[in-house]
Amino acid sequence: MLHRRQMLTAMLAVALLGAAGHQAAAHADTFPSRPIKFVVPFGPGSGTDTSARYFARQLQELTGQPVVVENKPGANGFIAVKNVLSAPADGYTVFIGSNSTLAVNAALFKALPYDPVKDFAPLTMMMRSPAMLAVSPQAPYGTLKDLIAYAQANPGKVNFGAGSAGYQLMGELLNDSASLKTVHVPFKGASEAITAVASGTVDYTFAEVTAVQELAKDGRVKVVAVASDQRVGTSPDVPTASEAGLPGFEAYTWVGAMVSAKTPAEQTERLAELFTRISKMPETRAFYERLGATPMTGGPAQMHEFQQKEIALWQRIVKKANVPQQ
């Protein structure tokens, strides 16, 4: 009698485990089954916001579920991060982060209130956009090589404007790569920094393609190089930094999607598959090429590797340039 009870108990346990596994598989197969929220750490119109809204439209078409974009700007991205990490870790809240929130902050803050690697599970890189180096048309240098020579001959007398911490570190990366000693001048945004270059208030600045190319076409600034391994299709006459005399110099702004690290693997893998599928669409490449950017088609593993390399790079630059940590 006891043996029979033990057999019945074992059979019941196996049946329950099988049912639970079937339910989990069914849940994964039907995910998503309700609206998804994208949280963006910047305001409407930013490069990160533009990417979020494009992917939201594509994801909605693929899944048939509404995708809502919520902008949570401020506090160096901390507000948006907290919003994502405090939400249920069920795959329905996605963080659309950038190089600043997912890499630069790790270098600039002594005690960051989140871990950009451990607290998140990567889905995929969405895009990257090379920085452009712009100078005043009235400057005594019209090429990157001339700018470097001028700055080397006048240590501490050349300055660069930066509209964010990320662009500040790009300026310090140039100092490191070309053995320069220039002075950082902070601005509230990239547009202010570019305006300062156009007026001659500062000597040069780094900015994303869309922020500078129209001013360059109007002759208000001169772009001497793009910090990329290839030229930008929307500005084909602008040489890469390597072509302009500084081999290997590259600096990008980028956008990637993540969920809380506590999200079940089934939901994370499903989202990663969907995001990667969108990144490989021909219309996605066309969309980003119009912005002077490039879609990134790698999945979670590639994004994890890229993010760690970026963090290590900016930590090295912060330490070498003695950039004050916050």
- What is the DSSP-derived secondary structure letter of residue 127? E
Rg for the chain, CA atoms, rounded: 23
b/e for 222-251, b at 16 or more Cβ within 10 A? bbbbbbbeeebeebeebbbbbebbbeebbb
User: DSSP characters for 194-231?
Assistant: HHHHHHTSSSEEEEEHHHHHHHHHTTSSEEEEESSSS-
Rounded Cα distance, 173 and 154, in Å = 18
Rounded Cα distance, 168 and 199, in Å = 20
> 29 pLDDT band (50/70/90 cuts)?
low
Structural domains of the chain, ranges and CATH numbers in brackets: 36-128+253-321 (3.40.190.150), 130-244 (3.40.190.10)
> 11 pLDDT band (50/70/90 cuts)?
low
Strands 183-186 and 159-162: parallel
pTM for the structure as a whole: 0.86
Q: What is the pLDDT of residue 26?
A: 42
Rounded Cα distance, 254 and 160, in Å = 22
Condensed to tens digits (0 to 9), the pLDDT of residues 239-257 reads: 999 999 999 999 999 999 9
Condensed to tens digits (0 to 9), the pLDDT of residues 249-306 reads: 999 999 999 999 999 999 999 999 999 999 999 999 999 999 999 999 889 999 999 9
Asked if pLDDT for residue 22 goes beyond 60, the answer is no
Contact, 258 vs 306, CB < 8 A? no
